[in-house]
Structure 1
Amino acid sequence: MELENKVAIITGGASGLGRATAEKFHAAGAKVAIFDLNDEAGNALAAALGEGALYRNVNVAEEEGVQAAISDVVGQFGRIDICCNFAGIGGAQRILGKDGVYPLAKFRGVIDVNLVGTFNVLRLAAEQMAKNEPDAFGQRGVVINTASVAAYDGQIGQIAYSASKAAIVGMTLTAARDLSSYGIRVNTIVPGLIDTPLLAKLPQAARDALGQQVLFPKRLGQAEEIAATAAFIVASDYLNAECIRLDGGIRMPPK
């Protein structure tokens, strides 16, 4: 699938991995719908990109809000071809620690955004993709989800985050199978240590130390590298039901 003249929804699109992907897709000629909760950053990005870009305030875990935003996208751009799910949250706490037991509400909160939110947007975007006219290969759309190396190498204190990302890895094949009859491909990017705004807050010495944990190259990954992987997935029609680690070969230690 070519990016030119396609319509892409990008959750978490106002910063980090989502922003880099929105910029790359738009530069390649796609129309981009930025879903985020940061109105200032989202509106600024849409304005900077110009024609063919819009921003909507969307909580990915809320059904009605996602439905309304998708309707807006279809109303303005006419269709949806690509859905990139980058929205997610973290949080670190041991199951049992000095502060007591891990609060159930906190665990549910991470699962709700990372897993339920991903599924919520995926299913509603796929509903619209299924209405597209198929291309010469019968393809109607592409879904790209985002997991994390924590899905495989969850560290101490990452119980909720690891569970949510492992679930995204786990549903990749099933989602691809479910949507195959509609000509919709589903793949998952599995990032390692990426230089996002969250890591940018750390002292340089801490950032350098994290980079040294990577097998090679010994540095943090760049958001643009995730965006390039997303573009590669879109363009590779035979790539389906796959989880792609983009992590420099890192295997995370327990802590």
Structure 2
Amino acid sequence: MGNKYTGKTFILEILTLVLGILFLIPFYYVIANSFKTFADILTKTSEFPKVFEWSNYTDAFERMQYWKVFGNSLLITIISNVIIIIFCSMAAYMLVRTKRKISNIIFFMFVAAMVIPFQSIMIPLVKAAGQFHLLNSIWGIVIMYLGFGSGISIFLYHGFIKGIPVELEEAAIIDGCSTFGVFWRIVFPLLKPITVTIMILNSLWIWNDFLLPSLVLQDTNLRTIPLAMYFFFGQYTKQWNLALAALVISIIPLLIFFFAMQKHIIKGITSGSIK
């Protein structure tokens, strides 16, 4: 017999529906008003647009230089993810398989680094980045993302690798595999669920990050989408129709990416907890 549909279930469904509507209200205002003229936004803020002003989007697209900032965000996100995955997976593997006290100390140092507020180190970071010529550089900000993303990435990899049987690696070593070959041929393919999870979490963080790019990327040609939105709102604050349209086209790529990959987040976290 299936579960009975009770009054408590009905109340929970109503509460969930109400909360869902409350969360969607801000999205409605942003999307609806992005299709209106500036005058209609001031006088008919809550109304659904009767005539869709598509010119808001074309104007915002051109003035924001969308393809340039989109390309910068995409390039930084992809390179950062690749480097984080390569370095952190290898580091976590060695920390798990090297049974020494120093391995535990290094691991706990990475975990402890996650609780340090970025605001407390951003001034020394900028000074150090300037001395090493990492400012206004794609590779400079990628190196910083590797540093800030290593803690959570190594932590997730570390927990997942502990569930992989050592016997698989021992069999590969007997067959003549080196330590490097064992990792890339045997271990790394088994890390796919947690790798996808780490990639998604880091992509959402890096794509949405504003503070670090604002400190490191002063060149207008290197602006990411959050930076472009910040300067766009500063320049077109009085033209809310253009500003809201720019906001919508800025969040569309992230929404598409999130909805396409959200099942992999759940799968990866579940696999890691089971192991």
User: Taking structure 2 as the reference length, what is the TM-score of the superposition?
Assistant: 0.25
- The structure richer in helix per residue is 2
TM-score (norm 1): 0.26
Q: Which has the larger radius of gyration?
A: 2
Structure with the larger strand share: 1
